[in-house]
């Protein structure tokens, strides 16, 4: 189901100047937040990240400012390597932009490093949570983060594996 | 402060006008897109993770208010002042303007915001609405 917010963003795209700016600003805002969140998740201060990249702390501060917006692809590649995550740069239709805008989940904003991801995969024994469990956990997490959704008329409730 | 996300609301005037949307509609498309992009992101990160310079916790005569900050392409510093409430997990935008060298325009933006906060608190059903991203 498409949310009101998704509809509103879709409507706003009718203006060419606005949609061009929105696409740029979504990238700028999301990158700044991602850099900050990934740095904090690794418990690095700005100086520690700067040291890994042979940059000044002030540069990291700039990169974490959503108003900055002057990232080069080579800078982003260096950051991806420092955080040990992948970088994906590609052209997409505006429908995908809207989808990305309304689904900024914690994992999208702060992707795990290669090692973290691998550790999680290895720890998933046959008795560990399945992909479906993970999905329902994500739904439960969303309900906790958006408590108003739980009050909406719906058949969705807290996930109980024994209920299925 | 809770660690959940905050849904963003707009202040609504006594005649039913969404004052925040009216202000945004008066900006150039680039500035409006920039502000809406930031509000969209703020709605999806935990309230405790809002950080400067994305937002600023105001002090002094604006104590209790939080500014959403945007520096536009024309070097104009836009500010949208709001507060955490009226309910938990909600952030209501109350007044908008610009800032230049620590001076706000309108100069009494804090007073305006506090006045509107009282109205929202008294009538949350009619004096605020979910932020309009159009």
Closest alpha carbon to B110 in B91, B96, B122: B96
Q: Is B134 on the interface with A (CB under 8 A)?
A: yes
Quote the tokens at residue A45. Answer: 């201060």
- CA trace torsion A48, A54, A60, A62 (10° rounding): 160
**CB-nearest partner of A5 from B33, B70, B133:** B133
**Cα separation of B80 and A4, whole Å?**
22
Q: What percent of chain B has pLDDT over 90?
A: 92
Going by pLDDT thresholds of 50, 70 and 90, the confidence category of residue A152 is low
Asked if A104's CB is within 8 angstroms of B53's CB, the reply is no
B27 touches chain A (CB under 8 A): no
Rounded Cα distance, A51 and A39, in Å: 13
Decide which of A85 and A159 is more confident.
A85
Q: How far is A114 from chain B (nearest CA, A)?
A: 23
Interface of A with B (CB under 8 A): 4-5, 8-9, 11-12, 15, 17-19, 21-22, 24-26, 28-30, 32-33, 36-37, 64-67, 101-102, 104-105, 109, 144-148
**Going by DSSP bridges, is the β-strand pair B90-100/B103-105 parallel, antiparallel, or unpaired?**
antiparallel
Average pLDDT over residues A91-102: 97
pLDDT at A164: 45
Name the token pair of B1. 């402060």
pLDDT mean across residues, chain B: 95
Q: Domain A4-104: what homologous superfamily? A: lambda repressor-like DNA-binding domains (1.10.260.40)
Q: Which token pair is A6?
A: 């998704």
Chain B neighbors of A4, CB-CB under 8 A: 130
Of A33, A101, A102, nearest to B45 by CB-CB distance is A33
Task: Find the mean pLDDT for residues A12-19.
Answer: 98
Is the confidence at residue B123, as pLDDT, over 70?
Answer: yes
Rg of chain A, C-alpha, whole Å: 19
Q: What is the pLDDT of residue A1?
A: 75
DSSP assigned state of A90:
-
Candidate from B4, B34, B133 with C-beta closest to A8:
B133
Q: How close does chain A come to B61, measured CA to CA in Å?
A: 26
pTM of the model: 0.84
B36·A145 Cβ contact <8 A: no
Local structure of A155: helix, strand or coil: coil
* B33 pLDDT above the threshold of 90: yes
Contact B30 A17 (CB under 8 A): yes
**pLDDT, tens only, A106-115:** 899 999 999 9
B32 in A contact zone (CB under 8 Å)? yes
Which chain A residues are within 8 Å of B51, Cβ to Cβ? 36, 64
- B132: distance to nearest CA of chain A, Å? 7
B122 touches chain A (CB under 8 A): no
Query: Which chain A residue shows the shortest CA-CA distance from B76?
Result: A67
Grade residue A123 by pLDDT with cuts at 50, 70 and 90.
Answer: confident
pLDDT of residue A122: 82
Strand partners, B93: B10, B82
Residues B64-113: tens digit of each pLDDT: 999 999 998 788 999 999 999 999 999 999 999 999 988 999 999 999 99
Looking at CA atoms only, how far is residue A19 from chain B in angstroms? 8
User: What pLDDT shows up at residue A155?
Assistant: 47
Q: Looking at the predicted structure, is the pLDDT value of residue A145 above 90?
A: no
Domain range list for chain A:
4-104
Query: Does residue A135 have a pLDDT over 90?
Result: no
Give the pLDDT of residue A121. Answer: 85
- By C-alpha distance, which of B69, B65, B66 is closest to B54? B69
């Amino acid at each position: 189901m498409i949310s009101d917010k998704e509809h509103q963003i879709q409507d706003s795209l009718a203006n060419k100047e606005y949609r061009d700016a929105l696409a740029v600003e979504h990238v700028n805002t999301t990158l700044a937040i991602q850099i900050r969140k990934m740095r904090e998740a690794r418990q690095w201060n700005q100086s520690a990240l700067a040291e890994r990249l042979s940059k000044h702390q002030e540069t990291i501060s700039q990169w974490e400012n959503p108003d900055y917006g002057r990232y080069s692809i080579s800078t982003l590649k260096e950051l991806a390597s420092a955080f040990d995550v992948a970088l994906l740069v590609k052209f997409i239709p505006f429908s995908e932009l809207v989808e990305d805008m309304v689904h900024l989940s914690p994992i999208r904003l702060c992707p795990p490093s290669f090692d973290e991801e691998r550790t999680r995969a290895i720890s998933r024994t046959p008795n560990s949570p399945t992909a479906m469990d993970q999905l329902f956990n994500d739904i439960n997490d969303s309900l906790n983060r958006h408590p108003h959704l739980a009050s909406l008329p719906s058949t969705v409730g807290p996930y109980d594996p024994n209920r299925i | 402060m809770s660690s959940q996300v905050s849904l963003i609301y707009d202040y609504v005037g006594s005649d039913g006008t969404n004052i925040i949307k009216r202000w945004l509609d008066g900006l150039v498309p680039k500035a409006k897109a920039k502000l809406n992009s930031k509000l969209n992101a703020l709605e999806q990160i935990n309230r405790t993770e809002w950080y400067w310079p994305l937002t600023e916790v105001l002090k002094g005569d604006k104590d209790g208010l939080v500014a959403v900050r945007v520096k536009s392409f024309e070097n104009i510093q836009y500010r949208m002042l709001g507060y955490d409430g009226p309910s938990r997990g909600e952030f209501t935008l109350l007044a908008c303007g610009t800032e230049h060298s620590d001076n706000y325009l309108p100069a009494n933006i804090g007073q305006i915001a506090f006045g509107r906060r009282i109205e929202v608190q008294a009538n949350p059903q009619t004096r605020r609405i979910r932020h309009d991203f159009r």
